[in-house]
A and B are shown apart, each in its own frame.
Chain A
């Protein structure tokens, strides 16, 4: 179960706060997955008590977008901590789907990759199994496939440390990279933090989703929770 709250001393109107939390939540807590299961209790609450002496922030206020961005970035940091503490997790993985026709399509694809047990076990085993990533993209439940054009699709692993080359292309314009540097792939997959980048090439929207690997330890923890 995900529970959380964010509190601030700014004065924010109820309508402003609702819009802020909705925007931030859609790009943070609704973009994480440990195991693909949704709880009956998930709740994120935000309170603004107005202890700071400044005019009330409303949707129309000049500062609204600035604060909304700050709250979103803050919520992302908090949400990412949950993934880092995923039961049994040894890796923190950012799945970035970019250049999508719509945000919703980018999110659906990112979420499908993030929830794939086979992708997650490959990440644990440090196996550069890009076929599983493609497979997940292919069965993602998009309303239509206008965001997805085979010849424009690119998939890469990206290192998050300063090592070079940072990006390892696995699929280039719909064609598998048959000369994947397996040694470099192993180096990237051995990192505790790494990124999977899917470039759809059909638009300009993007979504980041955060997930972790699936390990033996996850099974140990969850085979014996109630007792």
Chain B
């Protein structure tokens, strides 16, 4: 097996362009939580202000020990009746898992900072990934959220902004996972777009509900 051909997965699976759904802006930042200085914080914001109140849904791990961001996001969704969710904030490098009350407060603080900056209360979900059993470095995270949402670092709705968001949630991934597709409804011919971002390379056998 030592002679196996090395495949350039980045070249094979990472798109070079894409069309994205209307009404979203995304941003990313290297907050310093990742030791190598790579992007490690991302935010996605719904900027659509038509009459439709956004809807949201999520599936979560069924592991009995749920990390603080899982518990917090679940709570936000239930309290909002799955409506009016306008942002997701994600950090990588630290999972904020097995961190007890401090971890819950940190997850809440991440949501609160985004809510306050955007002026939309109780409308942010939070996700974290990385090492289990370590506290978040909230000074770095808070600074990063401000950089993204106020100073607009790496912020926008174009392809590079989306690709950087995909990179910001990676851990041991060798390539960012970003796909986007447009579809036409057969009944009305209206076109809509789906964009998806994921991360994961190890500790992967989800059973989410």
Tally of chain A residues near chain B (CB < 8 A): 78
Known A82-B177, A221-B202; judge A30-B208 contact (CB<8 A).
Answer: yes
Known A3-B169, A66-B186; judge A85-B127 contact (CB<8 A).
Answer: no
A14, B73: Cβ atoms closer than 8 Å: no
B185, A9: Cβ atoms closer than 8 Å: no
B51 contact set on A, CB distance < 8 A: 50
Residue A206 interfacial (CB < 8 Å): no
Residue A25 interfacial (CB < 8 Å): yes
B197 contact set on A, CB distance < 8 A: 4-5, 78
- Closest B residue to A18 by beta carbon equals B57
A71 contact set on B, CB distance < 8 A: 194
Instruction: List residues 121-150 of chain A with CB under 8 A from any CB of chain B.
Output: 124-126
> Chain A contact residues: over half helix, strand or loop, or mixed?
mixed
A107 shortest CB reach to chain B, Å: 10
B142 shortest CB reach to chain A, Å: 20
Contact with A along B191-209 (1 / 0, CB 8 A): 1111111111111111110
Residue A52 interfacial (CB < 8 Å): yes
Residue B61 interfacial (CB < 8 Å): yes
Contact with B along A24-50 (1 / 0, CB 8 A): 010001101111111111111111111
B127, A51: Cβ atoms closer than 8 Å: no
Residue B171 interfacial (CB < 8 Å): yes
- Closest A residue to B12 by beta carbon equals A84
Residue B17 interfacial (CB < 8 Å): no
Known A38-B62, A74-B181; judge A9-B205 contact (CB<8 A).
Answer: no
A122 shortest CB reach to chain B, Å: 12
Instruction: List residues 62-94 of chain A with CB under 8 A from any CB of chain B.
Output: 62-63, 66-67, 70-71, 74-75, 77-79, 81-87, 90
B59, A22: Cβ atoms closer than 8 Å: yes
Residue B70 interfacial (CB < 8 Å): yes
Pick from A79, A87, A192: contact of B202, CB below 8 A. Answer: A87
B187 contact set on A, CB distance < 8 A: 62-63
Pick from B21, B82, B190: contact of A14, CB below 8 A. Answer: B82
B190, A52: Cβ atoms closer than 8 Å: yes
A13, B55: Cβ atoms closer than 8 Å: yes
Known A4-B199, A33-B204, A41-B128; judge A50-B50 contact (CB<8 A).
Answer: yes
Residue A115 interfacial (CB < 8 Å): yes
B130 contact set on A, CB distance < 8 A: 1
Q: Report 15 cross-chain contacts, Cβ distance below 8 Å, ordered by A residue.
A: A4-B196, A7-B196, A9-B24, A9-B192, A10-B192, A22-B57, A29-B59, A29-B208, A37-B205, A38-B61, A40-B132, A42-B60, A47-B85, A86-B202, A90-B1
Interface residues of A (CB under 8 A from B): 1-14, 16-18, 20-22, 25, 29-30, 32-54, 56, 62-63, 66-67, 70-71, 74-75, 77-79, 81-87, 90, 111, 115, 124-126, 192, 215, 218, 221-222, 225-226
Interface residues of B (CB under 8 A from A): 1, 4, 7, 9, 13, 21-24, 44, 46, 48, 50-63, 65-67, 69-70, 73, 81-83, 85, 88, 90, 95, 97-98, 125, 127-132, 169, 171-175, 177, 179, 181, 183, 185-188, 190-208
